[in-house]
Amino acid sequence: MTITREEVLHVARLARLALSDAEADRLREQLGRLLDYMKQLDRLDTRGVVPTSHAVEMGTPFREDVVIPFGDREAILSNAPDRQGDFFRVPRIIED
Amino acid sequence: MEFEAVIGLEVHAQLATESKIFCACSAKFGASPNENTCPVCTGMPGVLPVLNRKAVEFTVRTALATSCKVQRRSVFARKNYFYPDLPKAYQISQYELPVALGGHVDIEIDGGAKRIGITRIHMEEDAGKLVHEGEFAGAQASLADLNRCSVPLMEIVSEPDMRTPGEGGAYLRRLRDILVYLEVCDGNMEEGSFRCDANVSVRPVGQKEFGTKAELKNMNSFRNVEKALEYEIRRQIETIEDGGEVVQETRLWDANAGVTVSMRRKEEAHDYRYFPDPDLLPLIVEEAWVDTLRKTIPELPAEKIARLASQYGIPKYDAGILASERPLADFFEASAAFFPGNAKTTANECVHWKDAIRAGKLSPETIAHAVEDRENGTVSATASKKLVELVVETGKPFRALRDEKGLTQVSDASALDAVVDKVLSASPKEVESYRGGKVGLLSFFVGQVMKESRGKANPKVVQEVLKRKLG
Amino acid sequence: MANVPVHEWTLLEAARKIREKEISSRELTGALLARIGALNPKINAYITVLPERAAAQAAACDEEQAKGSLRGPLHGVPLGLKDIFCTRGVRTTCGSRILHNFDPPYDAAVAGKVLAAGAVLLGKHNMDEFAMGSSTETSGFGVTRNPWDLSRIPGGSSGGTAAAVSSAMCFAGVGTDTGGSIRQPASLCGVVGVKPTYGRVSRYGMIAFASSLDQGGPIARTVPDAAALLSVIAGYDRRDSTSVDVPVPDYLAASGKPVKGLRVGLPKEYFGGGGLDPAVKAAVERALKALVDQGATAVEVSLPHTSFALSTYYLVAPAEASSNLARYDGVRYGHRAEGAAGLIEMMSRTRAEGFGDEVKRRIMIGTYALSAGYYEAFYGKAQKVRTLIRGDFAKAFEAADVLLTPTAPTPAFRLGEKTDDPLTMYLSDIFTIPCNLAGIPGLSVPCGLSADGLPIGAQLLSDHFREETLFAAAGAIERAIPVPRVAPLEG
């Protein structure tokens, strides 16, 4: 299956993965071959087959509307690579 | 060429649950940054969502109140995109299979009624807030507050049935009132618990196909929605008339400048890669549950307005104001039950005092007494107003204050006989002038009687007695 | 039992000897920590070892026991956990550099249960990065070596756990299995590994790879050990919406049940392939004979869509993974790239720096499979084929109580042997993948050694929530075919 370099870069952007040129080329080739293999599924007639979108067949369980505070904001913030007071700090979005 | 506008509105309503949609953190507004968070709503590794039953209840009730078909089986889907206020880098929403489909909201516009279709209602989680460090444009960083992450939202999508900004405003107001009636949302556009985006296009009158639409965002009040729609419709028509083409894009309303501005960001066709969320099983809403919830739907605004108007003989306009807040309408009816003698006046009074009523400073009985006493002349209109103010201030009952302040006016004609006689005998010259034709002197005599009675006489009755005696 | 070194005891023996005060937890834990100190540098089964914490836990267990209270069936017994289970206060990396410094403020359900049962946590086991791999070669913390032959892979992604159990660096461990990641390493390391029914074990706090396929399960040296450990970690958890509320039976008792009358199905599609090593085929046939000798009957069954399972898996799993791994964006925890000018650059470089090649490859496949215009052809199609595969098993279980297959097509291959071509690596999961797609439970039990002395495992599969059948059959095989359970290492 032919995947263009543009497609690889587009998918990498969707996935927020910075790729070197070498990586992009390698992935283009590998993805092409893998997706080629997977096209074997086209041989199967799946008309009328219901997709397995959920591994368990039952309705989703519910939670009652009761507040149970986690109660440890510091624990939530302490893994942050960059924080300002009680905020997570991130670089600004740059229009490009 | 004549153009018409085609408007569809997308509302995001924050559900007034205690806890968030997928975790047990508080959903309440106003906490300090990142106070209402936990590993689940901040998307830490290995955490999982569990659905809040009340959020489902609120959504189903909204669906019932807007005549939508509640779907027995609906599916949560992941909407994938990267943003610092979206901790999991996906929003749990509903895509192909939402909770409700195909309803409507009826509005009154220009004296007529119109039905605005609702395409779908679905549930999703809210994202957090990004604030920009420092006020200046060169700020290097943004700060993320995840309190709002996972607050339950209901997305209500209308059909593109509206044709004027006025219809848009009417639809929004009616929808908001329905949600507030159901107590599922507090309907506050300014605070962000009720948000609206608009899709607008124009087309030549008579054309069946829709024109290219623009999406409008950043309108934070009903009035701003109407203004933004007005502007955008005009802009699109002008663009076409000038030979240009309307571009499909997102535009932000700038309330200060009064214009919509293109977002111009390279909208790399957001590919959200929706797929059913494997961490949540399908949402099953059984018929029995729907039936139970159906019974909890109160009389809705449209029905209430019609009923108040016909049952109490008040104008639809007044009924509309009363019905705009369910507690106010309830108050009016309770008041009218105490004293049914003049529903129109009672309605007026309720509207006049609505702030105090909302604040809980007045009881239905108070207004009933105020109206009754005015009807039977026990107090003057002025005194009545003053007394109600005093009730608001002191909390004491209306009639107790009336008697305490001696504001009862004398309306019994025979009781006033003596006073009138006294006044007339004290002013023989004026009596003669009056009888001679100077009927303007009536007010002089009224004034005198009022003075003599220290304001307690009912001026209308005084006038009648004077006229009778003066001839 | 006389001269069996302490570290080679089974889990149940260790638990009993503590209960009966033949040995203290301190002593037992100390012995294992010493063994880890000696062996881990060679084998690298552990990413994180917790000597002080474990010693403190062991001391606490001894004190409580002295006062007459035991926490649970594993009181004082030292265990390890695959580094995919969040452990509060203990760094949890998921085998990835992007989480090299992540300190979870919560325990995974599995960790909580194991600790509540009284176990002492020795450390966190090495694994393929984000559980993506079949050899533990994609770990960001170095490869793990197979204790039976240090030039070979232990399997993956729970290679660290299997190697630790096999080299007696813990009495048992808990791994995870998405496409075979418990069973395949168990087979390659000569130990017992169980992937429970989907929904049997809570996924709360178990870092997600492919949400509709992941399950945590025990890796131990004997079938009764694995059964006992599964009883500890199984059970309904309301924090996991996919957790199923089904009572936990006595798996230990089940492992001793006779197999007379058991119908053993042999899926023909698993035995015909050219990639199946003859030694593996022979060993599995020996396992079948052991069952038949004890009264079971063999029946040929067919799982017609078997050859499509790999493609189905390698579309569904990466698609879910691409979404599950999107949260690693450098904002709230883990690695963040330095010196980025703007947000998009920060996120893109963070992920480029923090993820290894296999993870990136799967994120790319998954993103592609879900993207506009390709959803129906790839992800949508795969989800439909998954339904067909589930149907195959449902039909097979009408004719058989349990299915018997090889676990892996070959014994352990050499380090670096399959890292050049992703597809070659993926093919090592060919027997284990279908079971995850169907959600049914599977178990691998040692049933022989190759000519090179490398372990071979037989896989048993049963219908949903029929793990007892697996334990009964596995117990019968184990009793009939003794295979050394501790790798013959010096040290």
Q: What is the pLDDT of residues A45-80, one digit of tens each?
A: 999 999 998 888 899 999 999 999 999 999 999 999
Exposed (0-12), middle (13-18) or buried (19+): which is C342, by Cβ within 10 Å?
A: middle
Which of C:367-386 have CB within 8 Å of B? 367, 370-372, 375, 379
- Over pLDDT 90: what percentage of chain C? 95
Q: Is pLDDT above 80 for B302?
A: yes
Is C124 tagged catalytic?
Answer: no
C61 sits in which H/E element: helix C51-66
Query: What pLDDT score was predicted for residue B455?
Result: 76
CA pair distance C226, C52, nearest whole angstrom? 27
- Over pLDDT 90: what percentage of chain B? 73
Give ipTM to 2 decimals: 0.96
Tokens of C330: 């450098």
Bridge partners for B52 per DSSP: A63
Of B463 and B14, which is predicted with more confidence?
A: B14
CA distances from B167 to B67, B171, B284, C349 (A): 19, 6, 35, 49
Query: What pLDDT score was predicted for residue C424?
Result: 85
Residue in B46, B82, B273 closest to C108 by CB: B46
CA pair distance C423, C321, nearest whole angstrom? 18
Centre a 10 Å sphere on the Cβ of residue B103 and count the other Cβ atoms it contains. 23
CA pair distance C85, C139, nearest whole angstrom? 15
Which stretch of A47-51, C316-320, C418-422 has the lowest confidence by average pLDDT? Answer: C418-422
Query: What pLDDT score was predicted for residue C155?
Result: 97
pLDDT mean over B38-59 = 98
Q: Is pLDDT above 90 for B383?
A: no
Nearest to C46 by CA among C56, C57, C55, C35: C35
pLDDT mean over B193-211 = 95
Residues 6+ apart with CB under 8 A from B190: B220, B221
Q: What is the pLDDT of residues B138-164, one digit of tens each?
A: 667 999 999 999 999 999 999 999 999
- Are the beta carbons of C215 and C207 closer than 8 angstroms? no
Selecting among C157, C187, C231, C322, the annotated active-site residue is C157
Q: Is pLDDT above 70 for B265?
A: no
The answer to whether B39 contacts C106, with C-beta atoms less than 8 Å apart, is yes
Q: What is the pLDDT of residues C192-241, one digit of tens each?
A: 999 999 999 999 999 999 999 999 999 999 999 999 999 999 999 999 99
CB contacts of C241 in chain B (<8 Å) are: 48-51, 279-281
CA pair distance B390, B407, nearest whole angstrom? 12
Which stretch of A6-20, A58-72, B254-268, B383-397 has the lowest confidence by average pLDDT? Answer: B254-268
The answer to whether C331 contacts B142, with C-beta atoms less than 8 Å apart, is no
Q: What is the pLDDT of residues B55-113, one digit of tens each?
A: 999 999 999 999 999 999 999 999 999 999 999 999 999 999 999 999 999 998 887 89
Query: What pLDDT score was predicted for residue B264?
Result: 66
Q: Chains with ≥3 Cβ pairs under 8 A against A?
A: B, C
Distance from CA of B35 to the nearest CA of A (A): 6
Q: pTM (2 decimals)?
A: 0.92
pLDDT mean over B193-207 = 96
Q: What is the pLDDT of residues C264-310, one digit of tens each?
A: 999 999 998 778 999 999 999 999 999 999 999 999 999 999 999 99
Residue in C336, C355, C383 closest to A81 by CB: C336
CB contacts of A91 in chain B (<8 Å) are: 140-142
Residue in A19, A60, A94 closest to C341 by CB: A94
Distance from CA of A37 to the nearest CA of C (A): 7
At residue B140's C-alpha, the angle toward residues B137 and B143, to 5°, is 100
- Are the beta carbons of C448 and C481 closer than 8 angstroms? yes
Q: Is pLDDT above 90 for B470?
A: no
Query: What pLDDT score was predicted for residue C491?
Result: 45
Phi-psi region of C241 (alpha: psi -120 to 50; beta: other; left: phi over 0): alpha
Distance from CA of B215 to the nearest CA of A (A): 20
Average pLDDT of chain A, as a whole number? 93
Query: What pLDDT score was predicted for residue B135?
Result: 53
Q: Is pLDDT above 70 for B269?
A: no
Q: How many residues comprise chain C? A: 491
Q: Is pLDDT above 50 for A28?
A: yes
ω before C157 within 30° of 0 (cis)? yes
Query: What pLDDT score was predicted for residue C321?
Result: 98
Q: Is pLDDT above 60 for B136?
A: no
pLDDT mean over B330-334 = 96
- Are the beta carbons of C190 and C410 closer than 8 angstroms? no
CATH 1.10.20.60 fits A1-44, yes or no: yes
Tokens of C384: 């439909």
Q: Is pLDDT above 70 for B283?
A: yes
Average pLDDT of chain B, as a whole number? 92
The answer to whether A17 contacts C360, with C-beta atoms less than 8 Å apart, is yes
Bridge partners for B13 per DSSP: B154, B194
Average pLDDT of chain C, as a whole number? 96
Which residue of chain B comes nearest to A82, CA vs CA?
Answer: B143
CA pair distance C26, B240, nearest whole angstrom? 84
- Over pLDDT 70: what percentage of chain C? 99
Bridge partners for B196 per DSSP: B11, B219
Residues 6+ apart with CB under 8 A from B236: B200, B201, B202, B211, B214, B246
The answer to whether A11 contacts C384, with C-beta atoms less than 8 Å apart, is no
pLDDT mean over C330-337 = 98
Which stretch of C321-330, C393-402, C411-420 has the lowest confidence by average pLDDT? Answer: C411-420
CB contacts of C380 in chain A (<8 Å) are: 51
CB contacts of C331 in chain B (<8 Å) are: 84, 87, 144
- Are the beta carbons of C475 and C487 closer than 8 angstroms? no
For chain C, domains (ranges, CATH) are 6-303+392-480 (3.90.1300.10)
CB contacts of A78 in chain B (<8 Å) are: none
B116 sits in which H/E element: strand B112-125
Bridge partners for B107 per DSSP: B114
CA pair distance B128, B145, nearest whole angstrom? 6
* Number of Cβ pairs < 8 A linking chain B and chain C: 98
Q: Is pLDDT above 60 for B268?
A: no
Q: How many residues comprise chain B? A: 471
Residue recorded with tokens 């969320």: B277
CA B131 to chain centre: 29
Is A42 in a helix, a strand, or coil?
A: helix
Distance from CA of B140 to the nearest CA of C (A): 8
Tell me whether C365 touches chain A (CB under 8 Å).
yes
pLDDT confidence tier of residue B467, bands split at 50, 70 and 90: confident
Q: Is pLDDT above 50 for C10?
A: yes
CB contacts of B88 in chain C (<8 Å) are: 326-327
The answer to whether A90 contacts B142, with C-beta atoms less than 8 Å apart, is yes
Q: Is pLDDT above 80 for A94?
A: no
Q: What is the number of alpha carbons within 13 Å of residue B310 lying toward its C-beta?
A: 5
The answer to whether B46 contacts C204, with C-beta atoms less than 8 Å apart, is yes
Is C287 in a helix, a strand, or coil?
A: helix
- Are the beta carbons of B447 and B463 closer than 8 angstroms? no
Is C450 tagged catalytic?
Answer: no
Of C119 and C426, which is predicted with more confidence?
A: C119
Query: What pLDDT score was predicted for residue B223?
Result: 95
Nearest to B388 by CA among B409, B371, B375: B371
Q: What is the pLDDT of residues C242-267, one digit of tens each?
A: 999 999 999 999 999 999 999 999 99
CB contacts of B42 in chain A (<8 Å) are: 76
CA pair distance C321, C328, nearest whole angstrom? 12
Residue ranges covered by each domain of chain A: 1-44
Nearest to C273 by CA among C450, C427, C458: C427
Q: Is pLDDT above 70 for C2?
A: no
Is C268 tagged catalytic?
Answer: no
Q: Is pLDDT above 60 for B45?
A: yes
Beta strand C192-195 with C442-449: parallel, antiparallel or unpaired?
Answer: antiparallel
